[in-house]
C-alpha cells in the first residue's frame, strides 16, 4: 500500500495522531493509497510555519519578482516533463478520461507560466493628486497579503490547486494547501516539485484531511490572512462566516446551475456537440456545466433526437483507457446523482436517455453512470434548481427571447451561461442580460488563463485566472511623497 504524507515546514510528516484515510480509484472502487489525515494540531503547525516564513526578513516575499518568477518557471518545466505521470495519477484518483487529465496538466503548466510572467509586468498606478498641502506625488504598489489558505474540490484536483498556488506564490505569499480528500494524490506529487524547487521551508505547506477539521481550522484562524476556496456554496457560506473573525480576505468559487440557451436559428450540429461538452465533459462534474439546456420550442424535438443519438455513441469506461466518460468520483457522488434522477421521475420529467448506473464489462465495480438526458423540465423541478454535478442534461423550452432570459436568470446561482444563435446582435443582446460571470456565444466551457473566472450571486466572490486572479492575492498600498519637505505653516508657530 502506498502511504502519502503531509508536507509541513519543509518536512514530510504523518499526522499528529498517526491516522490515515483511504484514497480510492473510482473506476474499480479499490483503495489505492492511504493519506495522512491532518489534525487541528497539524494545521496549526502549518499556519505557524507559514506565518513565521512570511515575517522572515529573508523569506519568499523578499525574493525579487524575477527570482520568484524563475523558480515558478522551473516548476512549470518539471511538471511539463512529467505530464504523463501526473495525468495518469489524476485519472487513477479522480476517474476522468486520460486525455482530459492530459489537458489539465497542460493547463496547469500554462497557468504557472502565466503568473510567473505576470509578476514581472508593471503594476500599480501613479496618481495625480490635489496639491493643497504643497506638491505631492502618490502612487500605488502591490504587496502580498500574508498567509493564504487554499482549499480545493475534487473535480480538477491538480488544476484547481495550481490555479490558486501559482498566483499566491507569484505574489509572494506563503500558503497552506488543503486538497479534497477524494483526490489528494496529484497534490502530493506537485508538492514534491515545490520541495525540489528551492522555496524556503515553511513557504508552502500541504495538509490533507477532512474539511470540517483542517478547512475549518484554517478559515477560523487569526493567523491566516486570506482563504481562497473552491467548492460547494454551503461550505463557502461557512467559510465566509468564519473569515469574519479577523476580516480575512476571501475568494469563493462556488456552485452553479448554468443556462445554455439554444435558439432555433443556431447551427444545430454545433449546438448539440457543444451542449454535450457543456454537460458530459469531466462526467458533468464541472462547476460551470451547462446543466440547464433551454431550447427554443420549435426545434425541441430535432435537438433532443440528435442529442440522444450522439449520447448513445459515447463510450464509458476506465479513464485510463481513455473513453468519452469515466466514473464519477465516489460512491457518494454516484448515489447523489442517481437520487436526483429518481426525483426528476417522481416530479414528472421524462428520462429521454440513460438515467442508470453503468455496469458493463470493466465498469461493473466502479461508480459509472450513463450520460443522461431529461426533458419536460420546468423551473419548479428539483433538477433545475439544484446543482447535480453529474452528466445529467435537463431540457426546458422557451418561445420568446424574453422568456429565455427570464428562465436563464431564474436561479440563485450566476456562474456561467451560453447562447447559440446565428444572429450576432441577438447573441450579444441576450448574453448581456445573463447574470453570470462567465459566458460564451456559440460554444460552451472553454476556459483560458487570460480570462477571468468566477461568479455572480451565490456562485462566489472574486475572480480567478487572468490578471485579476493575481490581484486577489495582493494588497494595494498607497504611497504619497511630499515633494517639498519642510514647514508648511498650517499651525501658528
Q: Which residues bind Mg ion (CB under 5 A)?
A: 24, 93, 182-183
Tell me if 155 contacts ligand NAP by CB under 6 A: yes
> DSSP secondary-structure letter at 214?
I
By C-beta, is 153 or 354 nearer to ligand NAP? 153
Residue 27, CA atoms < 13 Å, CB-side half-sphere: 24
Query: Who's near 435: CB < 8 A, 6+ residues apart?
Result: 409, 414, 456, 457
Q: Which stretch binds ligand NAP (CB under 6 A): 28-36, 45-53, 175-183, 421-429?
A: 175-183
> DSSP secondary-structure letter at 281?
G
Tell me if 413 contacts ligand NAP by CB under 6 A: no
Long-range contacts of 443-450 (CB under 8 A, 24+ apart): 443/274, 443/418, 444/260, 444/274, 444/275, 444/277, 444/278, 444/290, 444/418, 445/274, 445/277, 445/278, 445/281, 445/286, 445/288, 445/289, 445/290, 447/107, 447/288, 449/107, 449/110, 449/111, 449/114, 450/114
Alpha-carbon torsion, ordered 274, 413, 284, 310, to 10 deg: -30
Count residues near ligand NAP (CB under 6 A).
30
Q: Which stretch binds ligand NAP (CB under 6 A): 208-216, 305-313, 423-431, 480-488?
A: 208-216
Residue 55 annotated as catalytic: no
Q: Which does 184 bind (CB under 5 to 8 A by kind): Mg ion, ligand NAP, none?
A: none
Residue 287 annotated as catalytic: yes
Look at the block and give the residue holding cell 502549518.
46
Residue 449, CA atoms < 13 Å, CB-side half-sphere: 22
Q: Which of residues 385-404 bind ligand NAP (CB under 6 A)?
A: 387, 389
Q: Which does 24 bind (CB under 5 to 8 A by kind): ligand NAP, Mg ion, none?
A: Mg ion
CB of 460 to ligand NAP, least distance (A): 6
Q: Which does 93 bind (CB under 5 to 8 A by kind): Mg ion, ligand NAP, none?
A: Mg ion
- Using DSSP's 3-state secondary structure scheme, residue 326 falls into coil
The binding track of 210-229 with respect to ligand NAP, each residue x by CB under 6 A or -, is xxx--xx--x----------
Active-site residue (options: 287, 349, 363, 377): 287
Do 475 and 146 touch, CB atoms closer than 8 A?
no
Using CB atoms, what's the residue nearest to ligand NAP?
211
Give residues in contact with ligand NAP (CB under 6 A): 151-155, 178, 180-181, 210-212, 215-216, 219, 230-232, 235, 238-239, 253-256, 287, 387, 389, 415, 455, 460
Active site residues: 253, 287
Amino acid at each position: 500500500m502506498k502511504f502519502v504524507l503531509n508536507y509541513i515546514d519543509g518536512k514530510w510528516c504523518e499526522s499528529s495522531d498517526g491516522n490515515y484515510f483511504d484514497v480510492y480509484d473510482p473506476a474499480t472502487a479499490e483503495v489505492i493509497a492511504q493519506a495522512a489525515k491532518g489534525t487541528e494540531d497539524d494545521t496549526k503547525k502549518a499556519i505557524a510555519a507559514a506565518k513565521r516564513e512570511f515575517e522572515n526578513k529573508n523569506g519568499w516575499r523578499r525574493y525579487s519578482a524575477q527570482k520568484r518568477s524563475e523558480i515558478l518557471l522551473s516548476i512549470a518545466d518539471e511538471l511539463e516533463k512529467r505530464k504523463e505521470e501526473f495525468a495518469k495519477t489524476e485519472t487513477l484518483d479522480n476517474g476522468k478520461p486520460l486525455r482530459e487529465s492530459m489537458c489539465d496538466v497542460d493547463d496547469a503548466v500554462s497557468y504557472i507560466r502565466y503568473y510567473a510572467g505576470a509578476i514581472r509586468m508593471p503594476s500599480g498606478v501613479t496618481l495625480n493628486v490635489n496639491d493643497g498641502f504643497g506638491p505631492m506625488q502618490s502612487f500605488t504598489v502591490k504587496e502580498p497579503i500574508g498567509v493564504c489558505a487554499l482549499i480545493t474540490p475534487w473535480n480538477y484536483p491538480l488544476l484547481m490547486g495550481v490555479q490558486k498556488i501559482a498566483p499566491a506564490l507569484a505574489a509572494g505569499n506563503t500558503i497552506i494547501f488543503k486538497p479534497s480528500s477524494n483526490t489528494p494524490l496529484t497534490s502530493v506529487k506537485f508538492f514534491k516539485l515545490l520541495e525540489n524547487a528551492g522555496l524556503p521551508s515553511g513557504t508552502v505547506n500541504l495538509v490533507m484531511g477532512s474539511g470540517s477539521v483542517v478547512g475549518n481550522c484554517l478559515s477560523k484562524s487569526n493567523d491566516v490572512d486570506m482563504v481562497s476556496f473552491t467548492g460547494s456554496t454551503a461550505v463557502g457560506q461557512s467559510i465566509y462566516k468564519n473569515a469574519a473573525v479577523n476580516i480575512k480576505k476571501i475568494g469563493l468559487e462556488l456552485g452553479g446551475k448554468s443556462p445554455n440557451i439554444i435558439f432555433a436559428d443556431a447551427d444545430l450540429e454545433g449546438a448539440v456537440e457543444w451542449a454535450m461538452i457543456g454537460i458530459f465533459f469531466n462526467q458533468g462534474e464541472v462547476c460551470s456545466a451547462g446543466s440547464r439546456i433551454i431550447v427554443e420550442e420549435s426545434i425541441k424535438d430535432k435537438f433532443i433526437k440528435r442529442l440522444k443519438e450522439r449520447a448513445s455513441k459515447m463510450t464509458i469506461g476506465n479513464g485510463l483507457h481513455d473513453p468519452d466518460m469515466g466514473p464519477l468520483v465516489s460512491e457518494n457522488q454516484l448515489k447523489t446523482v442517481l437520487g436526483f434522477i429518481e426525483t426528476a421521475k417522481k416530479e414528472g420529467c421524462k428520462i429521454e436517455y440513460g438515467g442508470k448506473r453503468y455496469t458493463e464489462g470493466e465498469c461493473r465495480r466502479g461508480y459509472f453512470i450513463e450520460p443522461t438526458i431529461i426533458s419536460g423540465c420546468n423551473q419548479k423541478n428539483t433538477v433545475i434548481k439544484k446543482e447535480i454535478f453529474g452528466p445529467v442534461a435537463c431540457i426546458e423550452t422557451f418561445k420568446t427571447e424574453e422568456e429565455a432570459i427570464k428562465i436563464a436568470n431564474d436561479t440563485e446561482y450566476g456562474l456561467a451561461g451560453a447562447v447559440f444563435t446565428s444572429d450576432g446582435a441577438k447573441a450579444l443582446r441576450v448574453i448581456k442580460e445573463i447574470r453570470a460571470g462567465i459566458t460564451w456565444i456559440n460554444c460552451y466551457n472553454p476556459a483560458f488563463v487570460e480570462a477571468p473566472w468566477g461568479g455572480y450571486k451565490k456562485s462566489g466572490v472574486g475572480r480567478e485566472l487572468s490578471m485579476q486572479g493575481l490581484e486577489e492575492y495582493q494588497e494595494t498600498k498607497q504611497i504619497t511623497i511630499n515633494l517639498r519637505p519642510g514647514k508648511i505653516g498650517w499651525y501658528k508657530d
